[in-house]
Amino acid sequence: MRIDIISVLPELIRSPFEASILKRAQQKGIVEVQLHNLKDFGMGKHRQVDDYSFGGNAGMVLRPEPLFECIEFLQSQRSYDAIIYTTPDGRRFDQKAANNLSLLENILVICGHYKGIDQRVRDHFVTHEISIGDYVLSGGELAAAVISDAIIRLIPGVLNDETSALTDSFQDNLLAPPVYTRPAEFRGLDVPEVLTSGHFKKIEDWNHEQALQRTKERRPDLLED
Ligand code: ADE
């Protein structure tokens, strides 16, 4: 998989891709992530990328010319299966969306900034408008990093068996059960006995029961459909 990310502040999200699982996925050659600075396509001496919005709504908007040029430049090198725009008015991101996107080969992500991007860019290029939650970030960069992380860890070979994505919260509409590690007794606090019993079936049942109970308490909406 290849992910290209267009941003006016690419340095804001360089580090998530240079550590741990995302770094290893790139080193293994399973995924390639490229950040592109929109200012490289900016206009005039000052590499301008934004301007006031027509109609007087306070706040700056990313102009169409640099975005069209940047996107068309990238499209001249490969065709994209999805062109994502990160925006609070997009569709709410969830595990199902991550699963679907993880099957694609080439993804382009456009990070919004300020008051957003000129609508003509959305109309002309964007196939997926995605929000990562009902709150407003300073820009779409952190959303792009969140979406990329959620997608990349699902690609076969990125995680090992121990950290397999199959047992994650949400994969089966259940939150994850509580987890414990050694020591079995710490300051008088004991690990539930069943977990140290070595009885595989009982442990599995216990985990499922705990997951169900947690989901009922914290996210009953997940059990509705
Ligand atoms: N940009 C600003 N806020 C955002 C959000 N909640 N999701 C995606 N992109 C955003």
Do residues 173 and 142 both lie within one domain? no
Do residues 105 and 45 both lie within one domain? yes
Q: What is the DSSP string of the chain?
A: -EEEEEES-GGGGTGGGGSHHHHHHHHTTS-EEEEEEGGGG-BTTTTB-EEEPTT--SSEEE-HHHHHHHHHHHHTT---SEEEEEEEEEEEP-HHHHHHHTT-SEEEEEE-BTT-B-HHHHHHH-SEEEESSSS--SBSHHHHHHHHHHHHTTSTTSS-GGG-GGGSTTTTS-PPPP---S-SEETTEEPPGGGGS--HHHHHHHHHHHHHHHHHHH-GGGGT-
Mutation to probe ligand 1, out of 62, 115, 131, 134 (largest number of atoms < 8 A from CB):
131
131 touches ligand 1 (CB under 6 Å):
yes
Q: What is the CATH number of the domain that holds 186?
A: 1.10.1270.20
Do residues 96 and 130 both lie within one domain? yes
- Which of 208, 182, 178 lies closest to 196, judged by CA? 182
Give the end of a domain, one of 100, 127, 152.
152
Do residues 148 and 173 both lie within one domain? no
- Which of 79, 188, 161 lies closest to 125, judged by CA? 79
87 touches ligand 1 (CB under 6 Å):
yes
pLDDT at 114: 78
pLDDT at 58: 79
Bridge partner residues of 111 (DSSP): 86
Atom of ligand 1 nearest to the CA of 136: 3
Do residues 87 and 176 both lie within one domain? no
Q: Which residue segment(s) compose the domain that 195 sits in? A: 167-224
86 touches ligand 1 (CB under 6 Å):
yes
Q: What is the CATH number of the domain that holds 6?
A: 3.40.1280.10
pLDDT at 166: 67
Do residues 10 and 96 both lie within one domain? yes
88 preceded by cis ω (within 30°)?
A: no
For ligand 1, the distance from its centroid to the CA atom of residue 167, given in whole angstroms, is: 27
Count how many Cα atoms sit within 13 Å of the Cα of residue 3 in the half-sphere of its side chain. Answer: 28
pLDDT at 162: 59
10 touches ligand 1 (CB under 6 Å):
no
- How far apart CA 137 and CA 112 sit, in angstroms, is 10
pTM greater than 0.85:
yes
Do residues 51 and 141 both lie within one domain? yes
Do residues 68 and 130 both lie within one domain? yes
- How far apart CA 186 and CA 205 sit, in angstroms, is 25
Do residues 86 and 62 both lie within one domain? yes
For ligand 1, the distance from its centroid to the CA atom of residue 144, given in whole angstroms, is: 9
pLDDT tens string, the chain, 225 residues long: the values are: 999 999 999 999 999 999 999 999 999 999 999 999 999 999 999 999 999 999 888 789 999 999 999 999 999 999 999 999 999 999 999 999 999 999 999 999 999 987 899 999 999 999 999 999 999 999 999 999 999 999 999 999 999 865 677 667 787 899 999 999 999 999 999 999 999 999 999 999 999 999 999 999 999 999 997
102 touches ligand 1 (CB under 6 Å):
no
Asked whether residue 158 is domain-assigned, the answer is no
Nearest CA to ligand 1 atom 5: 88
For ligand 1, the distance from its centroid to the CA atom of residue 75, given in whole angstroms, is: 24
Domain count along the chain: 2
For ligand 1, the distance from its centroid to the CA atom of residue 12, given in whole angstroms, is: 14
pLDDT at 160: 85
Do residues 109 and 137 both lie within one domain? yes
Nearest CA to ligand 1 atom 7: 131
Do residues 73 and 179 both lie within one domain? no
pLDDT at 56: 81
7 touches ligand 1 (CB under 6 Å):
no
Give the end of a domain, one of 152, 187, 208.
152
Asked whether residue 162 is domain-assigned, the answer is no
Give the end of a domain, one of 117, 152, 187.
152
Do residues 141 and 179 both lie within one domain? no
88 touches ligand 1 (CB under 6 Å):
yes
